[in-house]
Structure 1
Amino acid sequence: MGSVIRGRTVLVNGALAVLLAGGIGFAYVSLGDDEATASATTRTTTVMRGDLTASVAASGAVESATKRALAFTGSGTVTKIHVKVGTTVKKGQKLAELDRTEAQEQLDSAEADLAVAAEADTSTSQGYGSYVQAKNAVSAAQRALDGTVLYAPFAGTVTAVNGGVGDSASGSTGSSGSADSSSTGFIELADPGKAQVTGDFTESDATQLKVGQAATVTFAALSGVTAQGKVAAIDSTPTTENNVVTFAVTISLSDKPAQVRIGQTASATVTVSQAKNALYVPSAAITSAGGQSTVTVLENGTPVAKTVTVGIVGSSGTEIKSGLSEGEQVQITIATGTTGNGSQTQRGGFGGGGMVPGGGGGRGMGGSR
């Protein structure tokens, strides 16, 4: 009886060994097949001739190209504000006023002093000097009086009112009630008819930009609407954020589409170079290494590597300056393959993983039930 049991035990263990070996072998073959499926395919294209355009792009916001921060040049207390944010004004329109009492008194006093100086003997150096000094005082007092009223220097829209009635104004050194466009004035005015877009271009893209280059601007909220423009200014000082260096570039629009509003998101694409009637191939057909560029050409059906000289890289392809002829057939290699968890591997995982060191039983990784 003992020998029979031992015989059955040997038979069962032998069967398990065969099954385990078979499972391991199948899984090995499956994994081996998976690796073997990694390959590369090729397609053929033709050396073409046409126009190429290379461009760089960046996003930004639409803003007024003509804007001004306006400040009183006189001093006093604000007594009247004739506009609010969003008001459309004409050139020369009155925007705000200060109390003119003190400024008028100073002008009256200066004019009286001038009258006295003019009646005195101006034939002497001292008399003439007093006259000139009094005359200059009148001019300064008149400017101070004129500076108590803020006028619109151009037709536009009020974008900010930074104060209210009762506030004090100490005057500014600006001319004709204007301040630097980057500062904050009492009233800020913009011409919505003249627009620009300022975008942050990467360091490498900015090196290709020059003032006057043509640009095309599209708008995120307006499908199919475009505007033409030119590079108007390139900041000389970069901005670094998250270790990325960018330069602010201003694109002025030749004509602002009627639908476009100040503040909308826009994308500016600047043409940096062009090649007319050039030979070109898809950029993927070119391999570069060690300062050399090569293209695989089919000669009588046989792939042959040729060294080429490349030019601009455009949206349609890369310019070929020498090394190829129009109509030649070139190869583009495309890497393909599985990710290592193909269907065979999924089905042929290590079932009954309790026999594998560290195994947890159940189905193999990615396998099916």
Structure 2
Amino acid sequence: MKSLLERRGVVVNGTLGVLLAGGVGVAYLSLGGDGEEPTTSGRTTTVSRGSLVESVSASGSVESAKSSALGFGGSGTVKKIYVAVGDEVEKGARLAVLDQTEAREDLEAARANLAAAAEEDTDSAQGYAGYVQAQNAVKSAQRALDGTVIYAPFAGTVTAVNGSVGESAGSSSSTGSSTAGNSSGTTTGSSGFIEIANPSKMKVEGAFTESDTTKLKVGQSATVTFNALSGVTANGKVTQISTEPTTTNNVVSFGVVITLTDKPAKVRIGQTSTVTVEVSRAEDVLYVPSAAVSTAGGQSTVTVLENGKPVVRTVTTGITGDSGVEIKSGLEEGDQVQLTTISGSTTSGNGGFPGGGGNMGGGPPGGGNMGGFPGGGR
């Protein structure tokens, strides 16, 4: 009697095991775990004809396209500053001056020496040399006096005053002379005693990626938008491309200057902006959305619907514009192409159930040997 009950228990357990294994298998197959390739959706679009524009973008801030950092051409104590930040000045306007006492005395002495040299015998070599030397001394003293004044080299707005009355100012950081009608000494550093900019001429320097920079050329058209001015745009042109790269967080970029060809009234120096440069254009060409093109190993393909069935075609592409990818060959206008999106999932391991063991066609989740029950030993 006992052996009969044991045999019945084995049969019942075996039946339950088969049913359980079969149920897990059906569930697994219904979840796409049969190892088949992913399928594609049926979204399609039509091959169109029109114009394509390829562009690259970068961000930057608005700067004056014409600015100068001005310094004194001589040394001395600052006597007077005639302007403040924000003042608008005309070309040739006096901006600041040093104490001129010593410079004037040196000029008077040089002129006296020149007058004395002129009365000497200038016909002799020695006399003529003395006269020329006295002339040069007068010129040098005049330059020193002129260098005590900073004049505006052009009409503009004062953007910085880096000094005050009574302090010493030297010519060690500036070069050139400062005479009315001519450019004042311009500092060799990043700032001068007074900085001036022309707000009517503006530029934006954008940091373009290494790959985008290879597509840029001086003279290309650009459009500038401003973060703080919704709907406001300005036109510009690429006027300078840096040859020295900048690396930030392992990203290489190049500075590119875009000079605005028109200036909206609300635009101010320092505002953040985005510049978009048109790098290529194709007119009257066939194109499809980028999502329709697959590229691998240097070869591009598009899935075309022929009699309702998807057929893969190799295509030759052109520029990649904002509206899609140019198709040079392989498609005809009006063709229906598929926008591929992947659905389904792939299996892991060697075709076993999720979580199964390493054996081919492994057991149910948590199983040990093939055909074992959940948590079973054999």
Output the CA distance in 2 between the equivalents of 1:245 and 1:178.
35
Output the CA distance in 2 between the equivalents of 1:180 and 1:227.
32
Output the CA distance in 1 between the equivalents of 2:264 and 2:342.
45
What does residue 110 of structure 2 align with?
110
What does residue 310 of structure 2 align with?
303
What does residue 157 of structure 2 align with?
157
Change (3 A) 1:174 1:42: farther
Q: How far does residue 297 in structure 1 lie from its aligned partner after superposition?
A: 2.2
Output the CA distance in 2 between the equivalents of 1:196 and 1:125.
57
The aligned amino acid for 1:35 is: G
What does residue 237 of structure 1 align with?
244
Q: How far does residue 331 in structure 1 lie from its aligned partner after superposition?
A: 1.9
CA contact (8 A) 1:56 1:270 kept: yes
Change (3 A) 1:209 1:182: farther
Output the CA distance in 1 between the equivalents of 2:149 and 2:247.
42
The aligned amino acid for 2:317 is: V
> Which segments of 5 or more consecutive residues in structure 2 lack a partner in the other structure?
179-183, 348-364, 366-372
What does residue 92 of structure 2 align with?
92
Change (3 A) 1:127 1:292: same
SS state of the match for residue 92, structure 1?
coil
Give CA-to-partner distance per residue, 1:154-209, whole Å, 9 cap, x none. Answer: 12121111111122122232343232576211111111111111111111001111
Change (3 A) 1:339 1:168: farther
Q: How far does residue 123 in structure 1 lie from its aligned partner after superposition?
A: 1.6
Give CA-to-partner distance per residue, 1:64-102, whole Å, 9 cap, x none. Answer: 111100000021100111222222222222111100000
Q: How far does residue 323 in structure 1 lie from its aligned partner after superposition?
A: 2.1
Structure 1 or 2: larger helix share?
Answer: 1
1:211 aligns with 2:218: yes
Change (3 A) 1:80 1:291: same
Output the CA distance in 1 between the equivalents of 2:330 and 2:212.
28
Output the CA distance in 1 between the equivalents of 2:91 and 2:15.
97
What does residue 318 of structure 1 align with?
325
1:272 aligns with 2:284: no
Larger deviation: 76-85 or 119-128?
119-128
Q: How does 1:67-82 map to 2 (within 5 A)?
A: 67-82=67-82
Output the CA distance in 1 between the equivalents of 2:15 and 2:202.
80
What does residue 360 of structure 1 align with?
none
What does residue 30 of structure 2 align with?
33
Change (3 A) 1:61 1:120: same
Q: How does 1:128-277 map to 2 (within 5 A)?
A: 128-171=128-171, 172-176=174-178, 177-179=184-186, 183-277=190-284
Output the CA distance in 2 between the equivalents of 1:222 and 1:308.
43
Question: What is the aligned counterpart of 1:291 among 275, 298, 309?
Answer: 298
CA contact (8 A) 2:218 2:238 kept: yes
Output the CA distance in 2 between the equivalents of 1:81 and 1:181.
21
SS state of the match for residue 136, structure 2?
helix
Output the CA distance in 2 between the equivalents of 1:214 and 1:160.
32
Question: What is the aligned counterpart of 2:341 among 329, 334, 337?
Answer: 334
Output the CA distance in 1 between the equivalents of 2:336 and 2:240.
44
The aligned amino acid for 2:254 is: F
The aligned amino acid for 2:67 is: K
The aligned amino acid for 1:124 is: S
Change (3 A) 1:262 1:26: farther
What does residue 343 of structure 1 align with?
none
Give CA-to-partner distance per residue, 1:297-318, whole Å, 9 cap, x none. Answer: 2233333222221111001111
CA contact (8 A) 1:68 1:181 kept: no
Change (3 A) 1:19 1:266: farther
CA contact (8 A) 1:68 1:178 kept: no
> Which segments of 5 or more consecutive residues in structure 1 lack a partner in the other structure?
341-349, 358-369
How many correspondences in the alignment? 343
Output the CA distance in 1 between the equivalents of 2:257 and 2:283.
27
Output the CA distance in 2 between the equivalents of 1:41 and 1:312.
26
What does residue 347 of structure 1 align with?
none
The aligned amino acid for 2:328 is: K
What does residue 54 of structure 2 align with?
54
What does residue 43 of structure 2 align with?
43
Change (3 A) 1:83 1:23: farther
CA contact (8 A) 2:303 2:337 kept: yes
TM-score norm. by structure 2 comes to: 0.81
The aligned amino acid for 1:81 is: I
Output the CA distance in 1 between the equivalents of 2:17 and 2:231.
65
**RMSD (Å), alpha carbons:** 3.0
Give CA-to-partner distance per residue, 1:101-155, whole Å, 9 cap, x none. Answer: 0000010011101111112222222222221221121111111111111111112
Change (3 A) 1:337 1:223: farther
CA contact (8 A) 1:61 1:264 kept: yes
